Amino acid sequence: MSTGNGHALDALVAKLSHWGELDADDEAAIHALPGTLRQLKKGSYITREGDRPDVAAVLLSGFAIRHKLTGNGERQVFSIHMRGDLVDIHNSLLKWSDHNVQALNDIEAVFIPVSAIIRLFSERPNVGLLMWHETLVDGSIFREWTLNVGRRDARTRLAHLLCEFAFRLHKTGLGKKLHYELPMTQEQLADAVALTPVHVSRVIRSLSDYGYIAKTNRTILITDWDGLR
Amino acid sequence: MSTGNGHALDALVAKLSHWGELDADDEAAIHALPGTLRQLKKGSYITREGDRPDVAAVLLSGFAIRHKLTGNGERQVFSIHMRGDLVDIHNSLLKWSDHNVQALNDIEAVFIPVSAIIRLFSERPNVGLLMWHETLVDGSIFREWTLNVGRRDARTRLAHLLCEFAFRLHKTGLGKKLHYELPMTQEQLADAVALTPVHVSRVIRSLSDYGYIAKTNRTILITDWDGLR
DNA sequence: CGACGATTTGAAATCAGTCAAGAGCAGTGG
DNA sequence: CCACTGCTCTTGACTGATTTCAAATCGTCG
């Protein structure tokens, strides 16, 4: 592939293997996908609402968030992506982006033309099924997120989000389950849990007063996992 | 098919055609899907959280909601489905249901074995692509929903929901755009917009005081569409 | 050091929730 | 046709969680 090493998409293969079997031909077909490796700076957009993207991105390093704005400028973050995530098929397949995808820090990603993905899809339906599967899991995380935002109070919301992070970072091998570095500012956290930055600050304070977490700067140490849940 | 008339799945064909071309073979393959037509009473569950469904449902008449509960019993509604919607693939393909699907009133639905859908998927990748497409559109509505719940105030939330209804009911041919019958109680509305039933009642009052809507019992008449938006 | 962004803190205001009671409206059975 | 029952909806007074505004402090990076 044009990224030069042929292994850039291993992260994707690994991710898809979670959901079902990939035979050797499937794997080969994925590796054969044309793709361009790119570095993006913190804060830059992979996709903007209203774009008509013709590539989909696989995240190799760094974090990205998906978010959307209301008419009067309030932001809601929907999900956070890390290594291996197929960040952008939603937008690409729909041919019209309904939300933004933005880099939280400096990131690396492989960009794959949608046309190649669609072709792969008809040649290797099995791979398509697993990718679909991937978007469905995404949707499931999403529903949990919405439940969180809609029906829990501030402390529970944040606790929930911190647990989700712990879990996913650990699973992706980017931090210990009980001790990790938070990749976002409190303002971004606020946009994720639908609160004000001010209140996020207070709630974090309260969580650590209660002894559930301890934090120094951006690193979180969960001191009472069960309590936090 | 075993529903006896061979046209029960026309609603599905019509829906999928929105997203791309179905050739004659594709259509035939859809119609050939094995399916069982069933009537369900108001309030009954098509799927429950934790189920391991092996069928997916296509709604023929009536309304259904998807929802989920928090640990302490608060409900969040995620979406409302009407005729033609492929209500349940999310759960079926994932083999484990993360949320409930419940009938809002008496409904009719065709139940199709997931195995048949997966088979269809490898024989006719194009149909699979369109079904995937369908789930992505679903996800898009979802994001809008989350934005609504997370970042708008009570009046705007409800206004938004009422507009969405108007639009979708109209599109499905179940009501005029500015005048329709609301299929849910205020308590269910409250669960959809993440408010209390009491507050929903007040907000509806306020919307009609401002002259945006007029309502008698369950029928809504939108008197100022632009204002409402 | 200086500057800028991120976080913290306090006091006051507001939106939405809670509790409790009453009104409206089917549907049932006598 | 009426009384009874069970829902859904409405209203009022009160409470409480979260937001708002504004100012101070902390941290990081050039």
Q: Is residue B153 within 8 Å of residue B105, measured between CB atoms?
A: no
Distance CA B159, CA B157 (A): 5
In the prediction, which pLDDT does A177 show? 75
Tens of pLDDT, residues A28-41: 999 999 999 999 99
Query: How many residues in chain B?
Result: 229
Q: Residues of A25-42 as b/e, b for ≥16 C-beta within 10 angstroms?
A: ebbebbbebebebeebee
- Of B95 and A2, more confident: B95
Would you tell me how many other CB atoms lie within 10 Å of the CB of residue B156? 18
- Tokens (6 digits) for B115: 């195995």
**B178: Cβ contacts below 8 Å, ≥ 6 apart:** B166, B221, B222, B223, B225
Pick among A19, A122, A130, A132 to test the B interface (most B CBs inside 10 A): A132
Tens of pLDDT, residues A10-28: 888 988 998 899 999 999 9
Tens of pLDDT, residues A196-206: 999 999 999 99
Of B128, B144, B152, nearest to A125 by CB-CB distance is: B128
* B118 to chain A: closest CA residue: A129
CB contact under 8 A, A143 and B99: yes
CB contact under 8 A, B98 and A144: yes
In the prediction, which pLDDT does B125 show? 87
Give, as ranges, the nucleotides of chain C with any atom within 7 Å of a protein CB: 6-10, 15-20, 25-26
Tens of pLDDT, residues A68-96: 999 888 999 999 999 889 988 888 888 89
Q: What residue type is assigned to position B146 of the chain?
A: T
B72 CB contact with strand C at below 7 Å: no
Q: Within 177-216 of chain B, which residues have Cβ less than 7 Å from strand C?
A: 194-196, 198-199
Distance CA B12, CA B14 (A): 5
> With contacts defined as CB-CB under 8 Å, which chain B residues touch A142?
139, 142-143, 146
Chain B interface, Cβ < 8 Å to A: 68, 70, 74-76, 78, 89-90, 93-94, 98-99, 118, 121-122, 125-126, 128-129, 132-133, 135-140, 142-147, 149-152, 194
Burial (CB count within 10 angstroms: exposed 0-12, middle 13-18, buried 19+), residue A2: exposed
DSSP sequence for B149-207 = HHHS-HHHHHHHHHHHHHHHHHHTTSSBTTEEE--S-HHHHHHHHTS-HHHHHHHHHHH
User: What number of CA atoms fall less than 13 Å from residue B106's CA on the CB side?
Assistant: 1
Distance CA B216, CA B205 (A): 12
B174 CB contact with strand C at below 7 Å: no
In the prediction, which pLDDT does A189 show? 96
B75 CB contact with strand C at below 7 Å: no
Residue B108 scores a pLDDT above 80:
yes
Nucleotide nearest to B156 (CA to C1'): C15
What residue has its CA nearest to the C1' of D8?
B185
What pTM value is reported for the model?
Answer: 0.91
Residue B197 scores a pLDDT above 90:
yes
Residue B129 scores a pLDDT above 90:
no
B202 CB contact with strand D at below 7 Å: yes
A65 three-state secondary structure: strand
Tens of pLDDT, residues A136-179: 898 999 999 999 999 999 999 999 999 999 888 888 877 777 88
What residue has its CA nearest to the C1' of D18?
A199
In the prediction, which pLDDT does A205 show? 94
| Tokens 């484990």, located at residue | B96
Distance CA B46, CA A77 (A): 30
Sheet of A107-113: strands edge to edge? Answer: A36-40, A107-113, A55-61
Distance from CA(B199) to C1'(C19), angstroms, rounded = 14
Terminal Cα-to-Cα distance of chain B (whole angstroms): 44
In the prediction, which pLDDT does A77 show? 97
In the prediction, which pLDDT does A192 show? 97
